[in-house]
Structure 1
Amino acid sequence: MSTFSKLGVPIKTSVSANVLEEAMSGTVTVRPLPIGASVNGKVDKQCAHFFGVTISEQQAESGVVVRVTSTAQSKFKLLYFEQDSSGGYGLALQEESEKTGKVTSAGMYFLHFQVYRMDSTVNALAAAKDPESAFFKRLEGLQPCEVSELKAGTHIFAVYGDNFFKTASYTIEALCAKTYEDTTEKLKEIEAQILRKRNELRQFETEYRKALARFQEVTNRYTQEKQTVDELLKQRDTIHSSFSVVKTQSGNNLSNGSSSKAQGEESKGDGDSAGEEGGSESKDRSKRKWFNLNIKGSDKKLG
């Protein structure tokens, strides 16, 4: 099986029937791949290049690694075949190429301890359904490799082209773990650490989900409490503003009425003053008239 991307989700594809039939019939061309050597090549889509790796007893005991890389980031599969009694080759193992840094790569590690392959489709499908859970499912794609050691003899590997529109460029190499003892030990340790971390993540996911639910609960309460406080303060401001004599219509009428009354009284007072002044003038005129009459009467008597 291989994978191609559709909407970001890898979908598995199969090795072509023609390649499997040719391998079963034993009619494929097998090129030698010595331990410690590498071979560069280009393989057409849905075709395979076969290689024979011959290992000694000592190399088998030390462990063997077969890896394929592509600096062009081509898609391919690394296949391992077992020879049957009729001379044909049956597919036993396959590894999908994965992007690792600036290259794509696939490898098989026969090191006498359990190693794991990463099935990226598990994490990709989880991410498509729930992006948040992708982290917790990231290590769930670890799958144990079925074969952990090889016996002395010649073993058949193949590079299968998985590009859809062009040939796949690759470099294949076979290595003896004897010259990579430190690296082999580091791989053994890191595999154990990853397995422990996978178990820890399973437990942590449960804790995280509970904490997340609690967080959402208190976040909702925060929103409600904020709205309540805002409303209480608003009501308080409204009550404060009620303590005023100028804010109502009746208060305005009262103020206007008082002014009118004062103005009316003032006008009335002005009228009274005018009347008093008019009365004084009438009295003066009467006195002058009476005085004139007396003067005229006196003149007549004198004459």
Structure 2
Amino acid sequence: MVMGSKIEGPSTPANRRDPYEVLSVTRDSTDQEIKSAYRKLALKYHPDKNASNPEASELFKEVAYSYSILSDPEKRRQYDSAGFQALDADSMDMEIDLSNLGTVNTVFAALFSKLGVPIKTTVSANVLEEALNGTVTVRPLPIGTSVSGKVEKQCAHFFGVTINEQQAQSGIVIRATSTAQSKFKLLYFEQDANGGYGLALQEDSEKTGKVTSAGMYFLHFQVYRMDSTVNALAMAKDPEGAFFKRLEGLQPCEVSELKPGTHIFAVYGDNFFKTASYTIEAVCAKSHEDITQKLMDTEAQILRKRSELRQFETEYRKALARYQEVTDRYTKEKQSVDELLKQRDSIHSSFTVVKSTTSNLGNGSSSKISGEGSPEDGGSDGKDKSAKKKWFNLNLKGSDKS
């Protein structure tokens, strides 16, 4: 079974075991042999079946982490050439198995989901085991039709899509949508050797407009899916460069075509507390040739844009650093100029005779210039005015006596 695109490694790098040793396979094992070994071990140590065994949880992580390396051709090549050091551990995140969370923790998980933080979940061990045993009920889903339903949380509805040679060559699209914006997974199962079904692909529903949707596109060219968890983690680590991380979650889909025959898909209820309502449909790309071509062109453009953004980010950060440098200098230069002008004004204002009102009164260093004819200047006009005043007063007194 495939748990997701990114899995967190167990403990520290020093404690990691060889992925080949963990899965009990050899270095020349085929992809199918590795997948088969992983399915058995992952089901054996699944948290659903080992709630009281903490060691099983760690082994489950180790098995999932090992498979995430060996199932990816590029990562497997990197590991084979340089070991764990060649892998980017920062880009790996661990899925949460909600079936093993308590009620309180489930509430917190639901809250984070409401806040827009992507919560990855594993598919219930019961569903996987029933599929491997071939005891699930499979409903037919003919090409060109759709089926609606409601699936309980941590349960799945299985559908069989039968395609002929011509339809297989044209390409097939399987899509599930929910107008109620339910959270679900779209699953694809491969036929197992014992007659059961093993989980090969899974797509988590994403909100697009007023609906949630998930799709699988088997169109003979590489189609990519957007892992919002990878984007969210990258943006959280570098909020200022969030724009440049918007395409980092672009992941190539593992299967690009289907062979003629019957293929098994399922809608898995991934809601926290309630059933998931959905509509699933199977479409032949032959009736949508124009759209198929547009998708191929757009996927190629987005892939090129991701490469361009990585290069542009380097240029942008250099320019941003330079901008910060000149901005800092601008601030310093402005402060320097303001200080010099202030100092200049202070020096200019020092050229004055009158220092202050208080010092003038104290040391008498400055004299007040009065207007002409003022009593204070001791002039003749001052004496005349004094005499006239005295004569006037005497005259009045004399008049009173008479």
Same fold (TM over 0.5): yes
Deviates more, 1:193-202 or 1:96-105: 96-105
Secondary structure of 2:120 counterpart: strand
Q: What residue in structure 2 maps to residue 255 of structure 1? A: 366
The verdict on how the C-alpha distance between 1:180 and 1:245 changes in structure 2, with shifts beyond 3 A counting, is same
User: Aligned partners of 1:148, 1:129: CA distance in 2, in Å?
Assistant: 32
1:140 aligns with 2:248: yes
User: Aligned partners of 1:226, 1:77: CA distance in 2, in Å?
Assistant: 59
Q: What residue in structure 1 maps to residue 327 of structure 2? A: 219
Deviates more, 1:204-213 or 1:231-240: 231-240
Give CA-to-partner distance per residue, 1:251-292, whole Å, 9 cap, x none.
Answer: 662224998xx959769x97xxx9xxxxxxxxxxxxxxxxxx
Q: What residue in structure 2 maps to residue 88 of structure 1? A: 196
Give the superposition deviation at 1:240. 2.1
Give the superposition deviation at 1:221. 1.1
Q: Which amino acid aligns with 1:190?
A: T
Among candidates 143, 162, 186, match of residue 54 of structure 1: 162
User: Aligned partners of 2:336, 2:120: CA distance in 1, in Å?
Assistant: 55
Q: Which amino acid aligns with 2:366?
A: S
Give the superposition deviation at 1:165. 0.6
Between structure 1 and structure 2, the one with the greater Rg is: 1
1:164 aligns with 2:272: yes
User: Aligned partners of 2:188, 2:270: CA distance in 1, in Å?
Assistant: 16
Secondary structure of 1:135 counterpart: helix
Q: What residue in structure 2 maps to residue 65 of structure 1? A: 173
Q: What residue in structure 2 maps to residue 25 of structure 1? A: 133
Give the superposition deviation at 1:171. 0.5
Q: CA RMSD in A?
A: 2.3
Taking structure 2 as the reference length, the TM-score comes to 0.63
The verdict on how the C-alpha distance between 1:85 and 1:241 changes in structure 2, with shifts beyond 3 A counting, is same
- Greater fraction strand: 1
Give the superposition deviation at 1:62. 0.5
Taking structure 1 as the reference length, the TM-score comes to 0.82
User: Aligned partners of 1:232, 1:38: CA distance in 2, in Å?
Assistant: 79
Give the superposition deviation at 1:227. 1.1
1:120 aligns with 2:228: yes
Contact 1:72 1:103 in 2 (8 A): yes
Among candidates 186, 202, 209, match of residue 101 of structure 1: 209
User: Aligned partners of 2:280, 2:116: CA distance in 1, in Å?
Assistant: 28
Secondary structure of 2:181 counterpart: coil
Secondary structure of 1:208 counterpart: helix
1:228 aligns with 2:336: yes
Q: What residue in structure 2 maps to residue 38 of structure 1? A: 146
Q: Which amino acid aligns with 1:133?
A: G
User: Aligned partners of 1:144, 1:246: CA distance in 2, in Å?
Assistant: 85
Q: What residue in structure 2 maps to residue 150 of structure 1? A: 258
Deviates more, 1:226-235 or 1:28-37: 226-235
Q: Which amino acid aligns with 1:40?
A: S
User: Aligned partners of 1:263, 1:181: CA distance in 2, in Å?
Assistant: 112
Give the superposition deviation at 1:78. 0.4
User: Aligned partners of 1:86, 1:235: CA distance in 2, in Å?
Assistant: 91
User: Aligned partners of 1:57, 1:163: CA distance in 2, in Å?
Assistant: 37
Give the superposition deviation at 1:70. 0.6
Gaps of 5+ in 2: 4-94, 97-108, 388-402
Secondary structure of 1:166 counterpart: coil
Give the superposition deviation at 1:128. 1.6
Secondary structure of 1:12 counterpart: coil
User: Aligned partners of 2:376, 2:183: CA distance in 1, in Å?
Assistant: 103
Q: Which amino acid aligns with 2:202?
A: Q
Indicate the percent of aligned positions where both proteins have the same amino acid: 81
Q: Which amino acid aligns with 1:86?
A: N
Give the superposition deviation at 1:208. 0.8
Give the superposition deviation at 1:151. 0.7
Q: Which amino acid aligns with 1:241?
A: S
The verdict on how the C-alpha distance between 1:99 and 1:257 changes in structure 2, with shifts beyond 3 A counting, is closer
Give CA-to-partner distance per residue, 1:61-103, whole Å, 9 cap, x none.
Answer: 1000000011111110000001123210000111111111111
Q: Which amino acid aligns with 1:220?
A: D
Contact 1:9 1:125 in 2 (8 A): no
1:193 aligns with 2:301: yes
Gaps of 5+ in 1: 275-303
Give the superposition deviation at 1:133. 2.0
- Count of matched residue positions in the alignment of Structure 1 and Structure 2: 268
Among candidates 348, 352, 374, match of residue 244 of structure 1: 352
User: Aligned partners of 1:266, 1:62: CA distance in 2, in Å?
Assistant: 123
